[in-house]
Copies of this chain bind each other. A is one copy, B any other.
């Protein structure tokens, strides 16, 4: 089968296919050894829909009532108050880290296994309020094909997400073919507990790493230890990662997905506070980052029809 069938025959598609061909041609001038073929992808807005709120924020919305009952002092925090009031306007006006705070709070006190089970249960059924389909149906078909094509050519594909590590791991293997050890993300601190049932890791109400902007590069160094050769993002939160990728010697490629498709998905960039795309958009060309237009470069957007069928 021809690779990238959900991509239009555009310059972006040609450039990607050409890059993969050049870097994997044995004996070619731009050959990259298999061990160095590291590709990193942001998740929210790059691999699945993040608008009008990231999926994990919707999950937190569903969870946060339970938390506020346990600890009413949480209601003093603007993000929690806005959450409970369903006040999207306030939420989208707050800094990203603050908006994610309730999301991280929904982990606290649970073991890693409990959190995973809880998030899995929610993700099986929860629906996107505007698209009217399950959240998990909103992964992007062209990106899943791109991940497959990279892997078929010996690339190791990673997710590097501002979202929670364990949250994204719930769907990473089933939906993107990416195993848990190749998911890098935000994390809470954890504590090892030894009880009657053996050892468990309990999540603490304290942020370990907020995997956004520069921290994405730091975490790539900690988890991978190599500079990627291919990177894909969609917001200013990914800019450091894309520039870091392009900064190495030899062939490199980095892309931004531009959400310019109000018809099939959403059109947003500079004004989306929760995942601003402004510096990246203004300076992409200067930095050598390519722009993929959802509207023009993609033949098809979503990987599933909303009922779980591919």
Q: Which B residues are in CB contact (< 8 Å) with A20?
A: none
Does A152 belong to the interface (CB within 8 Å)? no
Does A205 belong to the interface (CB within 8 Å)? no
The stretch among A4-12, A63-71, A222-230, A272-280 that forms the contact with chain B is A222-230
Measured CA separation A244–B193 after assembly (Å): 10
Does A126 belong to the interface (CB within 8 Å)? no
Copies in the complex: 2
Please, which residue of chain B has its CB at the minimum distance from the CB of A247?
A: B198
Interface pair A192/B214, CB less than 8 Å apart: yes
Q: Which B residues are in CB contact (< 8 Å) with A38?
A: 181
Least CB distance, A114 to chain B, in whole angstroms: 13
Does A217 belong to the interface (CB within 8 Å)? yes
Measured CA separation A191–B218 after assembly (Å): 7
Q: Which B residues are in CB contact (< 8 Å) with A247?
A: 198-199
Interface pair B199/A166, CB less than 8 Å apart: no
Please, which residue of chain B has its CB at the minimum distance from the CB of A224?
A: B181
Interface pair B223/A223, CB less than 8 Å apart: yes
Most B CB within 10 A of own CB, among A180, A183, A240:
A180
Does A74 belong to the interface (CB within 8 Å)? no
Does A310 belong to the interface (CB within 8 Å)? no
Does A165 belong to the interface (CB within 8 Å)? yes
Interface pair A179/B222, CB less than 8 Å apart: no
Measured CA separation A208–B218 after assembly (Å): 11
Q: Which B residues are in CB contact (< 8 Å) with A187?
A: 222
Contact with B along A255-266 (1 / 0, CB 8 A): 000000000000
Contact with B along A160-174 (1 / 0, CB 8 A): 000001100100010
Q: Which B residues are in CB contact (< 8 Å) with A35?
A: 173, 179
Does A112 belong to the interface (CB within 8 Å)? yes
Q: Which B residues are in CB contact (< 8 Å) with A208?
A: 222
Does A22 belong to the interface (CB within 8 Å)? no
Measured CA separation A221–B199 after assembly (Å): 12
Chain A residues packing against B (C-beta within 8 Å): 35, 38, 112, 156, 165-166, 169, 173, 179-181, 183, 187, 190-192, 194, 198-199, 201, 208, 214, 217-218, 221-226, 240, 243-244, 247
